[in-house]
Amino acid sequence: MSNPDSFIEEVSEEVRRDRLYGYLRRYGWIAIVVVFGIVGGTAWREYQIATQSASAQAFGDGILTALENEDVGERVKALDALTVESPDSKAILDMLIAAEQGEEGDDAAAIARLQAVSNNADLPSIYRQIASYKALASGAETLSVDERRSGFEALAIAGQPLRLLAEEQLALIEIETGEKLAALERLQAILVDSEVTSGLRRRASQLIVALGGTVDQS
C-alpha cells in the first residue's frame, strides 16, 4: 500500500473514532440509564420474590401454630387473628376457619363464612366452587332442600371440577326426599362416568346396594 493510501486510511480511522466518541459523549447517558434500569429492575424483582416467599412462609407457620391449639374455640380465634395479604390467602383462611367452626358446632357461622367466599367475584372460580360445595354439604340443618338442590345443580354442570361430587350430593338429597329411583339412576350414571374416582365409585356402589339396587361388576 502506498504512503498516500496509508495516510488516508489513518485519517479515516481517526474520523470514525472521533465520531464514536462524540456519539458516546452525546448519547452515552442513555446506555447508562438502560444498564441501571436493568440492574434495578432485577434487584426489585428479586426483592419482591423474597418478600412474597417470606410472607407465604409466615402465613403457613401461623396456620400451623394456630392449629396446634387443642381447644377448637382457641383455634378459631388464632386463625381469625392471622394477617393476610391477598384475597386468595384470605379465602383459604376463611375455609379453614369455617371447618373449625363446623367442628365446634357453629354451622350457621361456618356456612355464612363459606358463602361469603363463594360470592366473592374477585376470587378464582375453583375457590368459590369449593366454598359453595362445603357450605351446601354442611347446610342440611340450616339450608332448605331446594336451596341445596339448586346449589349442587349449579356445581354439577358439565366441565365443572366438582361435578361428580355435586352429583353424589344430589343423589343424597333425592334419598332424603324419598326419590329412590331418581337416586339410583343418578348413582348408576356416576359409576359409568369416565372421570369417577375410586373413592366415589365405592361410595356410589355402597349407596346403590343400600337402596336395593344392583351394581354392575363388568
Domain residues for the domain of 39 are: 1-68
Q: Is residue 17 part of a domain?
A: yes
Q: Quote the pLDDT of residue 105.
A: 83
The number of beta carbons lying within 10 Å of the beta carbon of residue 85 is: 13
Q: How far is CA 214 from the centre of its chain?
A: 39
Helix 180-191 to helix 198-210 angle (10° resolution) is: 150
Q: Is residue 27 part of a domain?
A: yes
Residue 47 has pLDDT above 50, yes or no: no
Question: Could you tell me if 150 and 166 are in contact, meaning their C-beta atoms sit under 8 angstroms apart?
Answer: no
According to the 3-state scheme, what is the secondary structure of 189-204?
A: HHHCCCCCCHHHHHHH
Q: Is residue 6 part of a domain?
A: yes
Please identify which residue in the block is written with the cell numbers 345443580: 153
Q: Quote the pLDDT of residue 43.
A: 56
Q: Is residue 24 part of a domain?
A: yes
User: Helical H runs in the chain?
Assistant: 3-67, 72-80, 87-104, 107-118, 125-137, 145-155, 163-176, 180-191, 198-210
The values of phi and psi at residue 192, to 5°, are -95, 0
What total number of domains does the chain contain? 1
Q: How far is CA 39 from the centre of its chain?
A: 33
Among the residue ranges 107-111, 149-153, 178-182, the one predicted with the least confidence is 107-111
Q: Is residue 42 part of a domain?
A: yes
Q: Quote the pLDDT of residue 115.
A: 92
* Alpha-carbon gap, residue 137 to 134, rounded angstroms: 5
Model pLDDT for residues 179-196, shown as the tens digit of each residue: 999 999 999 999 999 999
The values of phi and psi at residue 81, to 5°, are -85, -10
Q: Is residue 82 part of a domain?
A: no
Residue 21 has pLDDT above 90, yes or no: no
Q: By three-state DSSP, how is residue 39 classified? A: helix
Q: Quote the pLDDT of residue 55.
A: 63
For residue 86, what pLDDT band results from cuts at 50, 70 and 90? confident
Higher model confidence: residue 50 or residue 102? 102
Q: Is residue 122 part of a domain?
A: no
Q: Quote the pLDDT of residue 169.
A: 96
Give the cell for residue 19: 465520531
Residue 11 has pLDDT above 50, yes or no: no
Q: Is residue 9 part of a domain?
A: yes
Which pTM was predicted? 0.68
For residue 7, what pLDDT band results from cuts at 50, 70 and 90? very low
